[in-house]
Amino acid sequence: MVTAMTNSRGLDRREAVAALLKDRGDMLVITGLGSPGYDVHAASDDDSTFYLWGAMGAAALIGLGLAQARPDRNVVVVTGDGEQLMGLGGLATIAVAKPKNLVIIVIDNGHFGETGMQRSHTGLGLDIAKVAQACGIEARVLRRLDEIEAVRDTLRRRSKGPRLYVVKVRAENVPRSLPPRDAVHLKNRFRSQLGLPVT
Looking at the domain that runs over 13-193, which CATH code has it been given?
Answer: 3.40.50.970
Q: Which of 176, 147, 150, 153 is nearest to 10 (CA)?
A: 147
- Residues 117 and 133: their CA atoms lie apart, in Å, by 27
pLDDT of residue 68: 97
For the sheet with 102-108, list strands across it: 49-51, 28-31, 75-80, 102-108, 163-168, 138-142
Convert 160-195 to b/e letters by CB count within 10 Å (16 or more is b). ebbbbbbbbbebeeeeeeebeeeeeebebbbeeeee
Q: State whether residue 64 is helix, strand or coil.
A: helix
- Residues 32 and 77: their CA atoms lie apart, in Å, by 7
- Residue spans per domain, the chain: 13-193
pLDDT tens digits for the chain (199 residues)? 333 343 457 999 999 999 999 988 889 999 998 899 999 999 988 999 999 988 888 999 999 999 999 999 999 999 999 899 999 999 999 999 999 999 999 999 887 767 666 788 888 889 999 999 999 999 999 999 999 999 998 888 889 999 999 999 998 888 888 888 888 999 999 999 899 998 7
Residues paired with 112 in a beta bridge? 118
pLDDT of residue 156: 83
This prediction has a pTM of: 0.90
Sequence-separated (6 or more) residues with CB below 8 Å from residue 189: 47
